[in-house]
């Protein structure tokens, strides 16, 4: 793999890491909105949990997998960049 290919791959991994960061930011915003809704409508969380218990479980798994993949992508990107120097 030449240096141009390594740099292209590293840039692609940068985007992966950035996108994952945006996903984490959105999750924080969603949590904040849910807390606000809870203040406005006290039964909101209870109703929400009742309707989406399965989705929350699979969402937690997905979050963990995304975090692991982001870390792998960042490590691979760093390895590529240092190998090219």
∠ CA 21-14-24, rounded to 5°: 5
Q: Can you spell out the DSSP letters for 44-73? A: HHHHHHHHHHHHHHHHHHHHHHHHHHHHHH
- What's residue 61's pLDDT? 64
- Would residue 73 count as lying in a domain? yes
- Would residue 34 count as lying in a domain? yes
For residue 36, the enclosing domain spans 3-79
Provide the 3-class DSSP secondary structure of residue 21.
helix
Q: How many domains does the chain contain in total?
A: 1
Q: Each residue's pLDDT tens digit in the chain (85 positions)?
A: 788 888 888 888 888 888 888 888 888 898 888 888 878 877 776 776 766 665 655 556 666 777 777 788 778 777 877 776 5
- What's residue 54's pLDDT? 58
């Amino acid at each position: 793999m030449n240096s141009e290919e390594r740099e292209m791959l590293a840039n692609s991994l940068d985007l992966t890491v950035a996108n994952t960061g945006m996903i984490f930011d959105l999750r924080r915003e969603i949590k904040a909105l849910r807390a606000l809704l809870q203040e406005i409508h006290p039964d909101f969380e209870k109703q929400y949990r009742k309707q989406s218990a399965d989705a929350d479980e699979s969402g937690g798994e997905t979050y963990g997998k995304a975090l692991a993949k982001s870390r792998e992508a960042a490590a691979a990107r760093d390895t590529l960049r240092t190998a090219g120097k």
